[in-house]
Amino acid sequence: GAVVSQHPSWVICKSGTSVKIECRSLDFQATTMFWYRQFPKQSLMLMATSNEGSKATYEQGVEKDKFLINHASLTLSTLTVTSAHPEDSSFYICSAQTEWSQGRAETQYFGPGTRLLVL
Amino acid sequence: SQKIEQNSEALNIQEGKTATLTCNYTNYSPAYLQWYRQDPGRGPVFLLLIRENEKEKRKERLKVTFDTTLKQSLFHITASQPADSATYLCALDMGSSYKLIFGSGTRLLVRP
């Protein structure tokens, strides 16, 4: 159980185009989803937190107009990188968390990641 | 300043030995501390969670300790196997915000 998928697994795009990445929780309902970015040999950096049906909360330094996040259902969140540039090339990882009746679950379940290369 | 430090150098050990990885943090007061495994090009996989009021947690060959006075967690893999070779990440969970703050990870190499 607790499987999270991401699509696509990798994408190459031209500078100036937009790219959409999907994150799905396959066998549970995710009340909260998180989006991270990871550069080579570096740690995961949280970009934003999204709760189903509400606006995402972005971390300091992350441009909300550039990284559009939509969490329209309890099983799907999308991250759109708008007007992508080469410096946006990175490994994007989502995670999902559910909330039990007695409060939130403590574990985040991570997707396999999406590698973005902007030429 | 707030920091999470994991040994950036790879840990290279012989199969069958115990691997011990360290996670130190400063200027944080986490409610939980979590350990994840990450293989190249993949997302992290949850291994263990330990709460601030717990000293030790075990799961099969894995053991985690948490010393909130020293602000340190140790992660042990006993009877290590080549399949344990991966990068291991510690993450602080503040509790109320649900956010995880990750260390940069330590790469473990287990030689056959």
pLDDT in tens, B9-63: 899 999 999 999 999 999 888 888 999 999 999 999 999 999 989 999 999 999 9
Closest in B32, B98, B104 to A43, CB measured: B104
Predicted pLDDT at B97: 66
Chain A residues in contact with B32 by the CB 8 A cut-off are 106
Query: Which residue is closest to B6 within chain A, CA to CA?
Result: A43
pLDDT band at A1 (very low <50, low <70, confident <90, very high): low
CB atoms within 10 A of CB B112: 7
pLDDT in tens, B61-93: 999 999 999 999 999 999 999 999 999 999 998
Q: Is the pLDDT of residue A36 over 60?
A: yes
Buried b (16+ CB within 10 A) or exposed e, B86-111: bbbbbbbbeeeebbbbbbbbbbbebe
CB A88 within 8 A of CB A81: yes
For B74, residues 6+ apart whose C-beta sits below 8 A from its C-beta are B20, B21, B22, B23, B64, B65
Q: Which residues from chain A sit within 8 angstroms of residue B44, using beta carbons?
A: 44, 93, 110
Mean pLDDT across chain A: 90
Query: Residue A44's beta-bridge partner residues?
Result: A38
